[in-house]
Amino acid sequence: MTSASNKLSMQIPDQSLISLKNMLSLGGHTLLNIITQLVILYLLSKQSFFEGIEANKNFYEKEDIMTWNSSEVSTLFLFSNFIYLALSICYSDGKPFKNNFYTNKLFICNFMVLLAYCIQMCLVPSLNYYYFYINTSMSFSWCSFMCIAGLGYILLSYFYENTLLGIIYTALQKKTKKE
């Protein structure tokens, strides 16, 4: 567990889970997730190897299997792993009441192991085929892009949570005080 901060803060913790700041955080991350997943799916549809679920519909019906091995499902699965890691970092930051998340050695070790595993799943999907049904026909350049996009998403969501959220929250508070 992350220990309590060494300095006392004058700030009072939110009393409600549905406070403005919590809702801005949750809403912003939800919007960020939707937008990035739609962009990823759009970029996937432009790839040369992409066939889509509908192109293989007869195969899936004939073989009586789900569409687990499609490019869409594999892409969203691989990218969503990075989303989960990003949110674990964003929601583990307990300032000013707790120390920074990076002081928690167990959390950081777990995060690094899971991050390495997510990168490995992107760059060498054939090692995971039997466990997760990842489409191994996706090009290496696409898988590399997925890895870079996932790492970028982690940085983007951390930036939103620790920079933009404060700016938006302050601006909305000033606006409501004027009214």
**For residues 140 and 150, is the Cβ–Cβ distance under 8 A?**
no
Q: What is the pTM of this model?
A: 0.78
Does the structure show a pLDDT above 80 at 68?
no
pLDDT per residue over 119-165, tens digit each?
A: 988 888 777 655 566 676 788 899 899 999 999 999 999 899 888 98
What pLDDT does residue 58 have? 58
Give domain status of residue 16, yes or no: no
Rounded Cα gap, residues 152 and 40, in angstroms? 12
Greater model confidence, 94 or 65: 94
Other CB atoms within a 10 A radius of the CB of residue 101 amount to 18
Rounded Cα gap, residues 91 and 107, in angstroms? 12
What pLDDT does residue 49 have? 82
Q: Which domain holds residue 128?
A: 22-178
Longest Cα–Cα distance of the chain, Å, equals 65
Give domain status of residue 9, yes or no: no
What pLDDT does residue 38 have? 95
Q: How many helices (H) and strands (E) does the chain have?
A: 8, 0
Greater model confidence, 50 or 145: 145
What is the count of structural domains for the chain?
1
Give domain status of residue 15, yes or no: no
Q: pLDDT-based confidence at 33, cuts 50/70/90? A: very high
**For residues 148 and 141, is the Cβ–Cβ distance under 8 A?**
no
Give domain status of residue 54, yes or no: yes
Please compute the mean of the pLDDT values over residues 68-82 and round it to a whole number.
84
For the chain, what is the mean pLDDT? Answer: 80
Coil, strand, or helix at residue 98? strand
Give domain status of residue 160, yes or no: yes
Rounded Cα gap, residues 9 and 84, in angstroms? 29
Give domain status of residue 8, yes or no: no
